[in-house]
Amino acid sequence: MNKFLFSILLAASTIVMDRACSQEISDRLQGDALYYEANRLMTTYIETNELKNKYQFFIDEFPEHPLIPDACIDLGNIISNRPYQLGGKEKSRELYHKVMTASDIPQSDFRVWEAKFRWAATYTHSEDNERITMKICEEIIDAPNEEFTLPEAWLVQNGQTQRVSDLNRILEEKIYRLKRVAAQSYIYVRSRHIPREDIDQIIDFLHQLSEERPDNSLFQEFIQRNLQMEKNRLKERTEMDNK
């Protein structure tokens, strides 16, 4: 191949690569705009179907976008918060499972952990499947914080590179909240058999749970918080009985 022909082919391939790169950047920016608009609207009183449609449009139009796991979790949460909707639980489980089994993100990605919990939480009120909830909640409660990693997709938002230190702080807050709700769900499922009015038995049970994980400071914090609430309930009831 002569040098002239080689230079033409090289130039052509460079143009194709540049166009592909430009298209990828354009798709990323368009997808970011759609996702963050839908995410912002979650904090407003927008009509639920409109919000669902925005997320579903993003998922359908940008299936390779790195924020698809985030959108699946958000949409799953919207649907699961409408338990009366026909097929809602099955649809939300499908969305969470899509994140859990995604091949392009590591299992340590925080979004996988969150999807696991959300998926398990759909079984919380099903006594036949409560072992699913307990198993996943235990995994989350016992996992060291180092096993929850920062999603790479969060490093760039709307074309702007984010500060890793800020993102790590946000991740720490999210891990704390996830462990808190996992602990609450775990305590709820484990104590389901105890009548709500039997406060003494609930307190004894919480002490028993505390002994199961004496070295887990975060779990102990949640247990103590629940113990204090039950002790306050007991005090209020005693005061009412003495009137």
Quickly state the pLDDT bin for 2 (edges 50, 70, 90). Answer: low
CA-based radius of gyration for the chain: 24
Q: Considering the chain, what is the average pLDDT of its residues? A: 84
Quickly state the pLDDT bin for 18 (edges 50, 70, 90). Answer: very low
Which tokens belong to 50? 């409109």
Q: Which of 39, 175, 161 is nearest to 114 (CA)?
A: 175
- Is the pLDDT reported for residue 86 higher than 50? yes
Q: Is the dihedral of CA 193, 198, 200, 202 positive or negative?
A: positive
Q: Quick one: average pLDDT of 105-127?
A: 89
Which tokens belong to 129? 């499947």
Q: Look-up: residue for tokens 């649809």?
A: 91
- Is the pLDDT reported for residue 30 higher than 60? yes
**CA dihedral in degrees (40, 46, 50, 55; nearest 10)?**
20
Q: Quick one: average pLDDT of 28-48?
A: 78
Q: How many CB atoms lie within 10 A of CB 84?
A: 5
Which tokens belong to 56? 């579903």
The alpha carbon of residue 138 and the mean position of all alpha carbons in its chain are separated, in whole angstroms, by 16
pLDDT digits (tens, 9 = 90+) for 166-191: 999 999 999 999 999 999 999 988 88
Which tokens belong to 225? 């918080």
Exposure b/e, 211-238, CB count within 10 A at least 16 = b: eebeebebbeebbeebbeebeeeeeeee
Beta strands in the chain (DSSP E): 156-157, 160-161
Kindly tell me the number of DSSP H helices and DSSP E strands found in the chain: 9, 2
pLDDT at 240: 83
Q: Quick one: average pLDDT of 135-144?
A: 95
% of the chain with per-residue pLDDT over 90: 53
Q: How many CB atoms lie within 10 A of CB 74?
A: 22
pLDDT at 73: 96
pLDDT at 241: 80
pLDDT at 12: 43
Q: What 3-state class would DSSP assign to 241?
A: helix
pLDDT at 27: 67
Which tokens belong to 158? 């709307």
More confident residue, 155 or 21: 155
